[in-house]
């Protein structure tokens, strides 16, 4: 089989799959109508904020199956993992259509769909990166961009179905469609041969005549100081983006006074810049290096958060500038980190390694929204949350410098390679 050609089919299949599973981040479209539906069903007084726990848990459980599924992917290939993950992701959404309380939503959407997402997302990213050692930044950017672009494409479709048939029917219809698409696309995936080199490309060689490619398993990775710097950098870099993504609609309405339509446009704006940032940063990182790109993303994040801070006075223009920059910065981290992890620890075990690294994303996804909600309740505004996020971005910038120092120190010592 000519994998140099086949890899483009695998990349396209990965993009279709990620476009489906990225819909998890369209939860805000379902939260308000589901709260209203459950209130009518049970006579309760739920608000969309009360259902935020559903998204937080769904976002947090992904690394569990990214690691478990990544191990199966590394051993047997992605077909089985993605097929099972597709059944879980789509099945969880279908079951959410039968939900009669918040606990049911947590079981179906948060746990089943969230775990299914972890199995699928980890495999598509790592498989694509393995087949493109010559374009890791670009491929990581494209595959994660389709994941992010889902939150632009899916919300209006979901909103139209909800308006016509209600939220429970929307869960069932969309879940069925995604189950079919993801499981069908799984059959186009292949396991990357060991040490695959595409035709016409020569792997880079180190200054001492050794290949730059070093394969470490997860144990060796976690023994290295670089890992702890990188996962801390991911937490700090993703914090602001996940904090704002989870609350962009309330931010637009409460801070700026936007209508529901205006808030929806704000969500789409952030998502578009998020997707663009993943591709652009991936391409740029292939040229100037991963860590330099991430340092620039931290600086961008501080600028975007500053614009959001001054938007508290009700300025629409500064608000849009702020969320656009936050989207670019967050997208940069999501697009660069798959290739960054493979560069540092090798592509061979990247499915498991990136799954473990992704724990940093889950932590940011928990603490970002949680801290923002706590500050909003305590202060009656979001202003202080932006200052906290600026502190995280500043810490991220410092970590890029620490990473350079750590890797420079490691480069002058004898390297130990673990297969």
pLDDT in tens, the chain (419 residues): 688 889 999 999 999 999 999 888 778 788 889 999 999 999 988 888 788 889 888 878 888 888 888 888 877 789 999 999 999 999 999 999 999 999 999 999 999 999 999 889 888 988 888 899 888 888 988 998 888 888 788 888 988 899 999 999 999 999 999 999 999 999 999 988 887 888 888 877 643 333 445 789 899 999 999 999 999 999 999 999 989 887 787 788 888 888 877 887 888 888 889 989 999 998 899 899 999 999 999 999 999 999 999 987 778 999 999 999 999 999 999 989 988 998 999 888 888 898 899 889 889 988 998 899 889 888 888 889 999 999 999 999 999 999 999 988 776 655 444 43
Query: Contact at 8 Å (CB) between 278 and 145?
Result: yes
**3-state SS class at 229:** helix
CB burial of 264-298 (b: ≥16 within 10 Å; e: otherwise) equals bebbbbbbbbbbbbbbbbbbbbbeebbbebbbbbb
Question: What does the alpha-carbon distance between residue 403 and residue 11 come to, in Å, rounded to a whole number?
Answer: 30
pLDDT at 236 (0 to 100): 97
How is the chain split into domains, by residue range? 3-188, 218-411
pLDDT at 416 (0 to 100): 46
CB burial of 154-184 (b: ≥16 within 10 Å; e: otherwise) equals bbebbbebbeeeebbebbbbbbeebbebbbe
Query: Contact at 8 Å (CB) between 297 and 283?
Result: no
pLDDT at 209 (0 to 100): 35
Q: Helices in 289-382 by DSSP H: which ranges?
A: 290-310, 316-345, 350-357, 359-379
Per DSSP, 419 falls in state -
Question: Taking the model in full, what pTM does it have?
Answer: 0.80
Question: What does the alpha-carbon distance between residue 140 and residue 142 come to, in Å, rounded to a whole number?
Answer: 6
**3-state SS class at 205:** strand
pLDDT at 213 (0 to 100): 53
CATH ID of 3-188, from 1.20.1250.20, 1.10.3720.10, 3.40.50.300, 1.20.1440.60: 1.20.1250.20
CATH class belonging to 218-411:
mainly alpha
CA-based nearest residue to 323, from 375, 258, 268, 388: 268
Site of tokens 């340092």: 295
pLDDT at 409 (0 to 100): 79
Q: Both tokens of residue 248?
A: 């962009």
pLDDT at 11 (0 to 100): 94
Question: What does the alpha-carbon distance between residue 395 and residue 290 come to, in Å, rounded to a whole number?
Answer: 17
pLDDT at 332 (0 to 100): 94
């Amino acid at each position: 089989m000519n994998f140099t050609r086949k890899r483009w089919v695998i990349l396209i299949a990965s993009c279709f799959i990620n476009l489906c599973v990225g819909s998890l981040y369209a939860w805000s479209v379902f939260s308000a109508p589901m709260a209203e539906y459950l209130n009518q069903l049970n006579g309760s007084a739920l608000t969309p904020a009360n259902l935020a726990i559903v998204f937080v848990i769904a976002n947090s459980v992904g690394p569990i199956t990214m690691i478990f599924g990544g191990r199966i992917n590394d051993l047997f290939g992605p077909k089985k993992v993605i097929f099972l993950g597709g059944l879980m992701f789509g099945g969880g959404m279908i079951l959410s259509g039968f939900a009669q309380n918040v606990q049911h939503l947590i079981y179906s959407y948060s746990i089943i769909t969230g775990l299914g997402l972890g199995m699928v997302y980890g495999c598509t990213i790592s498989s694509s990166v393995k087949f493109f050692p010559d374009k890791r930044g670009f491929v990581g950017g494209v595959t994660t961009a389709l994941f992010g672009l889902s939150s632009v494409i899916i919300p209006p479709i979901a909103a139209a179905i909800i308006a016509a048939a209600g939220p429970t029917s929307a869960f069932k219809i969309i879940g069925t469609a995604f189950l079919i698409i993801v499981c069908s696309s799984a059959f186009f995936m292949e396991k990357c041969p060991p040490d695959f080199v595409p035709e016409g490309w020569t792997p880079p060689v180190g200054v001492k005549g050794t290949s730059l490619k070093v394969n470490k398993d997860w144990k060796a990775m976690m023994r290295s100081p670089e890992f702890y710097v990188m996962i801390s950098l991911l937490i700090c870099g993703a914090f602001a983006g996940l904090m704002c993504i989870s609350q962009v609609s309330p931010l637009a309405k409460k801070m700026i006074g936007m209508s529901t339509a205006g808030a929806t446009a704000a969500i789409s704006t952030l998502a578009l810049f998020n997707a663009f940032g993943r591709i652009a940063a991936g391409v740029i990182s292939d040229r100037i290096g991963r860590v330099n790109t991430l340092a620039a993303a931290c600086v961008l994040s501080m600028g975007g958060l500053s614009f959001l801070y001054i938007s508290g006075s009700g300025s629409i223009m500064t608000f849009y500038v702020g969320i656009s920059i936050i989207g670019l910065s967050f997208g940069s981290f999501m697009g660069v980190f798959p290739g960054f992890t493979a560069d540092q620890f090798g592509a061979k075990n990247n499915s498991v390694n990136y799954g473990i690294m992704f724990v940093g994303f889950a932590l940011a996804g928990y603490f970002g929204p949680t801290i923002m909600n706590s500050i909003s309740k305590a202060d009656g505004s979001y202003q202080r949350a932006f200052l906290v996020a600026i502190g995280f971005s500043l810490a991220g910038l410092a970590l890029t410098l620490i990473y350079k120092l750590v890797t420079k120190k490691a480069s002058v010592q004898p390297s130990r390679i673990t297969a």
